[in-house]
């Protein structure tokens, strides 16, 4: 992050990652003033109702864009190969996430196994496409959330959560009753159903969806999903309706809002110009965007010659130009200008 920027947003972020001279005072102030979205629903009893509703929905599952309608409560898995319990691969503080999430003590990530997408180039395929990990009940998942809080993490970052929404809500109910007070980050591939998102309304503080593709056939070919753009765009609209633009506290940490990730693919396969225009024109020009250039061929990418190389410097330069042309300006890691 350069010092030459006069941009207000970038100044906020830069300030946030200076080591506070009296960090304990800063942290205690943040804890005292921040109230996660789910507090109100916990107190009204609505959180318990949502957890029950999500569990019921698994009997004819429509909790993500696939809408398999299988009975997961009878352990009949759909595309996600997941029954009623979530499977967790690992958890811990993560310092590689976006600036407003990682802060100085890390984002409290929980990695769920078996993503609902089948991205043929996935860099985390050993988690997303395997059965690695352990099934966890609500009590164990709640204990993990509380452990991450005790470690000092700034938020609970649920990675690949779409297919385990019911398990998350059941665990949250227990964890919130036991004192969890961190914001929840819904870190998703963006193939989420409106049915699931409505259950999360007033519960999730920070939505962090991918926007992977602008073209339907591309989503089918590389991630084995139908109608990715349509479902993804509907989900983005709903997420934004719930939480709005990303808000940061005075310490630069995200407290609420939408943070979008877009991975640039070789040969413009992701459709960056369309996606950035959609965000600027249909969501908000103030959308916070992580425009990611770190694509490296992984997993089955060698079976697709057009995907089997990193993104070139020239391709990244073009993607930045398209983003600038769209009018978006809040970019993670330094911004456009």
Tell me which residue has its CB nearest to ligand SF4. Answer: 78
Q: For residue 68, state whether it binds ligand SF4 (rule: CB under 6 A).
A: yes
Please, which residue, 101 or 166, has the CB nearer to ligand SF4? 166
**Quick check: 169 binds ligand SF4 (CB under 6 A)?**
no
Could you tell me the smallest distance in angstroms from the CB atom of residue 237 to ligand SF4? 20
Out of 16, 37, 41, 66, the only residue in the binding site for ligand SF4 (CB under 6 A) is: 66
> In the complex, what is the shortest distance from the CB of residue 233 to ligand SF4, in angstroms, rounded to a whole number?
18
By CB under 6 A, tell whether 63 contacts ligand SF4.
yes
Residue 203 CB, shortest distance to ligand SF4, in Å, is 17
In this chain, which of 79, 146, 264, 319 binds ligand SF4, going by CB under 6 A? 79
One-letter-per-residue 3-state SS of the chain: CCCCCCCHHHHHHHHHCCCCCCHHHHHHHHHHHCCCCHHHHHHHCHHHHHHHHHHHHHHHCCCCCCCCCCCHHHCCCCCCCCCCCEEEEEEEEECCCCHHHHCCCCEEEEEECCCCCCCCCCCCHHHHCCCCCEEECHHHHHHHHHHHHHCCCCCEEEECCHHHHHHHHHHHHHHHHCCCCCCEEEEECCCCCHHHHHHHCCCCCEEEEECCCCCHHHHHHHHCCCCHHHHHHHHHHHHHHHHCECEECCCCCEEEEEEEEEECCHHHCCCHHHHHHHHHHHHCCCCEEEEECCCCCCCCHHHCHHHCCCCCHHHHHHHHHHHHHHCCCEECCCCCC
Among 64, 153, 185, 319, binds ligand SF4 (CB under 6 A): 64
Nearer to ligand SF4, 160 or 323 (CB): 160
Number of residues located near ligand SF4, criterion CB under 6 A: 15
Closest distance between ligand SF4 and the C-beta of residue 133, in Å?
16
Sign of the four-CA dihedral 63, 64, 68, 73: negative
Sites for ligand SF4 among residues 138-167 (CB under 6 A): 163
Residues 110-129 that bind ligand SF4 (CB under 6 A): 116
Closest to ligand SF4 by CB, 61 vs 200, is 61
80 binds ligand SF4 (CB under 6 A): yes
Does the protein bind ligand SF4 through residue 41 (CB under 6 A)?
no
CB of 192 to ligand SF4, least distance (A): 9
Kindly list the residues in this chain that would bind ligand SF4 in the complex (CB under 6 A). 61-64, 66-68, 70, 72, 78-80, 82, 116, 163
């Amino acid at each position: 992050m350069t010092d030459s920027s006069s941009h207000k947003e970038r100044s906020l972020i830069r300030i946030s990652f200076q080591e506070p001279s009296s960090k304990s005072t800063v942290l205690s102030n943040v804890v005292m003033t921040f109230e996660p979205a789910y507090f109100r629903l916990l107190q009204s009893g609505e959180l318990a109702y949502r957890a029950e509703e999500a569990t019921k929905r698994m009997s004819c599952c429509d909790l993500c864009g696939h809408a398999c309608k299988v009975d997961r409560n009878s352990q009949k898995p759909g595309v996600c190969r997941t029954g009623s319990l979530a499977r967790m691969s690992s958890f811990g503080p993560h310092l590689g996430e976006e600036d407003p999430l990682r802060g100085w003590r890390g984002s409290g990530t929980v990695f769920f196994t078996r993503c609902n997408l089948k991205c043929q180039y996935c860099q985390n395929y050993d988690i997303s496409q395997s059965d690695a990990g352990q099934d966890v009940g609500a009590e164990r998942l709640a204990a993990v959330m509380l452990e991450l809080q005790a470690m000092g993490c700034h938020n609970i970052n649920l990675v690949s959560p779409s297919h385990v929404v019911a398990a998350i809500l059941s665990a949250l109910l227990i964890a919130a009753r036991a004192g969890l007070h961190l914001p929840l980050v819904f870190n998703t591939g963006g193939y989420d159903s409106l049915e699931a998102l409505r259950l999360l309304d007033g519960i999730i503080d920070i939505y962090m969806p991918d926007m992977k593709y602008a073209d339907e056939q591309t989503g089918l070919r590389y991630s084995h999903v139908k109608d990715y753009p349509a479902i993804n765009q509907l989900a983005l609209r709903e997420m934004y309706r719930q939480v709005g633009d990303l808000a940061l506290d005075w310490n630069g940490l995200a407290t609420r809002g939408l943070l979008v990730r877009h991975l640039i693919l070789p040969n413009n396969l992701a459709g960056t110009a369309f996606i950035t225009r959609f965000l600027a024109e249909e969501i908000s020009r103030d959308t916070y965007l992580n425009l990611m250039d770190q694509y490296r061929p992984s997993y089955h990418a060698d079976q697709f010659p057009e995907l089997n190389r990193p993104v070139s410097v020239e391709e990244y330069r073009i993607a930045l130009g398209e983003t600038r042309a769209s009018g978006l300006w809040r970019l993670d890691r330094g911004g456009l200008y």
